[in-house]
Amino acid sequence: MNDQSGVDSANLRDQTWVVTGAAGTIGTRLVADLAGRVNRLVATDLAAPDAPYGVESVAADLRDQDAVAAVLAGAHGVVHLGGIADEADLHDLAEVNLVGTYHVLEEARRAGARRVVYASSNRVTGCYPCDVTVHPSMPPRPDGLYGAVKVAAEGLCQLYADKFGLATVAVRIGSYEERPLDLRQLSTWLSPADCSRAFRAAMSATDVGYACFYAVSANTRGWWSLEPGAALGFLPQDDAEEFAATVPDAARTMRGPQGGDYAAPEYTLSRQRR
């Protein structure tokens, strides 16, 4: 596939990048990591986020297409982290996570941006059983409405790559924590350092039209293929197994769906308005 992005790691310092959802846990750390790595960095969220010196901070609602357009003006690329971060009522998820992602993609296209890095989720495949190694090319099996909307947003990313030539990378984020907290996270953990590695790779990889990979640490008990990320230059360094002695029930083998409790019917039903 020919490179559609025009993005090169050597040239990131000459470029303008926007990070949506910059006030979130991952966004805050990623903005701090990227500060100084790019020429101009814009951090945006519903309220203007706190940002390091030299980083522009702007308030914008993803539901407001004009506001998104204003923030993306002049951008070479966007790291789109913004949105509702867990299971919620479908109407809210569709409005913020799906329509909001459309606004980012469409305004990136109009602005002449070269790449959108989309924060997807491991929950797009959470109904696969734990004894299956999942590759991003396999059919989605979301564990809830949150995951289903992420699947739809990945579809938008694919569309904008295929139809409009906008390079897009869907990053399926694992369980982002300082250290794994439970049995499931021994398989799904994403360390902060590996998270930064994943997004920097997604921003700078060449030969990208549309790509999708799991952002997860190199966990001994991992469930997801790391090959697509490696092809983009993402080489995780950490392993949840180093913390197994501190994790309750670590001697057990997890069974059932990879989503664990997220895949339970009540987890979705209790969050719907009716």
- Predicted pLDDT of residue 11: 74
Give residue-wise pLDDT tens across range 82-106: 999 999 999 999 999 999 999 999 9
Rounded CA gap, 204 and 211, in Å? 12
Tokens standing for residue 254 = 């997890």
- Predicted pLDDT of residue 135: 98
Give residue-wise pLDDT tens across range 199-212: 999 999 999 999 99
Measured between its terminal Cα atoms, the distance across the chain in Å is: 46
Angle at 72 between CA 69 and CA 74, to 5 degrees: 120
In this prediction, what percent of the chain has a pLDDT beyond 70?
Answer: 96
Banded pLDDT at 64 (limits 50, 70, 90): very high
Alpha helices per DSSP H over the chain: 25-34, 65-72, 90-93, 99-111, 145-164, 185-188, 192-204, 227-231, 265-269
- Which residues share a beta bridge with 59? 45
Q: Is the pLDDT of residue 74 over 60?
A: yes
Instruction: Tell me phi and psi for residue 252, to 5 degrees.
Output: -80, 160
Which pTM was predicted?
Answer: 0.95
Write out the catalytic residue numbers: 146
Q: What is the mean pLDDT of residues 156-185?
A: 98
Is 9-269 CATH 3.40.50.720? yes
